[in-house]
Amino acid sequence: MNNDSNAENILKSEFSLDDVQSLSNAYGLTLGRNRRPQHVTTSQHFTGSTPDIRGLTLDNLRTTSSIQSDTLISKLREENELLKKEASIKEAKLQSNIRSIRTFWSPELKKERNSRKEHESRSKRLEGELRDVQGTIPENMLQRENVVLRRAVQDLEARVQTQRETLEAREISLRRALQLAAAHEQNLSGKGIQSEETYRALLSIKDDKITALEKCVRDLEENLRAYERQFGTSTGSLLRSRRGLHDAEGDQMLCAHNNYLKTKADGLKCELSIKDAEIYNLKTRLEATQRSDHETRSHLEAVRESLHAKSNRCAQLQADNDRLRSRQSEITYSSPQRIAERPLSHELEVKEHQIKLLKSRYENLEFQLADKDRRLLELEEKINHANGISSRDEKSSAEAKISIMALEDALSDKDEAMKRERSRYQEEIKEERNRRIELQSQLENPEENEREKMEMRLEIQKLQAQCQMGQQALQDQDQRAAKAEALHARLKGQMEDILKDFDHAKNAYTVLQQKFNQLRRSREKDEKILVSAKRETATHCLNELEIRAELLEIKGKKAEAKQVREKRAQLQAQYKL
């Protein structure tokens, strides 16, 4: 109450009603009521915008005395109460939103939340020490202006921090969306991918994801460097102008960026592990397809050899048939039993017709085998192409691992820089305390007070320039936020395109599966035809041997006929006919 009464006396003696109203509207001052210095409530700038203090000068403040200060103070009190209520309502809404967001993203923000709590407790302790130091110094107008300017700077820093938190939340949401898309793709790909086009589509999707992640990492590194340049200059100038509370803000900023980069590196490591697992899965699938291809080739080679043997056998039978026909013609012209041998010639003609049919089937089967060999060569080319794509994917994963190692080195460098900055901030706090002690000793001397006032005016001008710089920085932050939103929209569109491409690849896989089923059915039909041809050739051979045995018996060569019959029995037992 004594401090407020002193402030009222100073305002009545040195300032007019318009000046007091402008000061109250600009800085949110409330006279006649003890208020905590860390809460800033403004009448016209409660939305978080920085008050324009460029037009305020000390020459305009020292014009005339105050008139009707009591009514003005009552109005200001009412406005202050209304603004406090509005601010409390908005703060409650904001806290509820923040609590809901934090509970939703709690697994990723536990470490960050604990670090923020530590920094907040440290800043509160430092603010308590600052209030204790300020309680020993007699209040005057320059100190009040200094407090108001400090509050304005704190408001600016609070806005910057909120914007940074929103950007971090957006980045986390983007990372979650990418992870969900990757999981969705992995689940769909686990159902069975056996075609070359599907492999190519998946590998192109993974390459696009790697490039997008590398681009995000580069953007984040550029933002980090910009933040370091910006906040390095602003915090250095504010610390040189007797601001002892910025060490907690700087530490909080560095810790937040450090934690963010660590989480980003962990996310990249997870992505790389997922990619390695997918590459291993693709390799196993390729090996399985190669084994099946080798088995089909070996089977086709066996079928080809059997067909070649059958063709040789058919040629031999044809030669035997011609020889038998020549002998039959000789027998028909020389033997008196021409009428009895007519059924044998008829049977020989039937067998010749059957041999012609078997030859035509054999040619058809050779043509089908050539077609299947051509298809196998095409499949080999596709598999080799898929192996080349997988090797390129391994190279890209190695490059991503190298970038992660570089990020870890950068994180270690950032930790060392943060330790150095923390030690420097502590030294500057000690220097600021010594300066405040010297200021207290100087205020006891009235002669040095005037000189100190002039210095404070110069510092106020410097702070005005710094506030302008802060406004420019906030504009830059708004532009960056807009760019981040545009990036989010672009990434969302890319995710939709990726899902569409995956659907197309899935449709292509179904088409290839249908073709594969058709080929399998045709192969089964060919195998059945081969089995039937084999049986027919075997029966034909047995009939030919029976005819040969009968002819030998007719000629009187019973021993040879017996051997032929034994050979026929062996063949019949071999083919189980």
List b or e across 524-535, with b for residues whose CB sees 16 or more CB atoms inside 10 angstroms: eebeeebeebee
Label residue 388 left, alpha or beta by phi (over 0 means left) and psi (-120 to 50 means alpha). Answer: alpha
The whole-number pLDDT of residue 57 equals: 43
Q: Residues near 123 by Cβ (< 8 Å), separated by ≥ 6?
A: 245, 248, 249
The whole-number pLDDT of residue 534 equals: 73
Distance, C-alpha 241 to centroid of its chain:
44
Three-state DSSP class for residue 34 = coil
Q: Where are the domains of the chain?
A: 1-104
Q: Which residues of the chain have pLDDT under 50?
A: 1-16, 20, 23, 26-65, 138, 191-194, 231, 234-235, 237-247, 335-342
Residue 384 to residue 382: CA distance in whole angstroms:
5
Residue 99 to residue 180: CA distance in whole angstroms:
24
Residue (of 113, 411, 112, 122) closest to 246 by Cα position: 122
The whole-number pLDDT of residue 48 equals: 42
Residue 259 to residue 248: CA distance in whole angstroms:
16
In this structure, what token pair is assigned to residue 366?
Answer: 């050779």
CB 340 within 8 A of CB 274: no
The whole-number pLDDT of residue 88 equals: 82
Three-state DSSP class for residue 44 = coil
Q: Residue holding tokens 């610390």? A: 239
Q: Residue holding tokens 């909080």? A: 252
The whole-number pLDDT of residue 44 equals: 41
3-state SS string for 417-437:
HHHHHHHHHHHHHHHHHHHHH
CB 231 within 8 A of CB 253: yes
CB 2 within 8 A of CB 51: no
Residue 235 to residue 241: CA distance in whole angstroms:
10
> CB neighbours (10 Å) of residue 119?
19
Residue 566 to residue 549: CA distance in whole angstroms:
10
The whole-number pLDDT of residue 105 equals: 57
In this structure, what token pair is assigned to residue 421?
Answer: 């900055």
Q: What are φ and ψ of residue 33, in 5° steps?
A: -150, 130
Q: Specify burial of residue 250 (Cβ count, 10 A radius: 0-12, 13-18, 19+).
A: buried
What are the helix and strand counts (H, E) for the chain?
11, 0
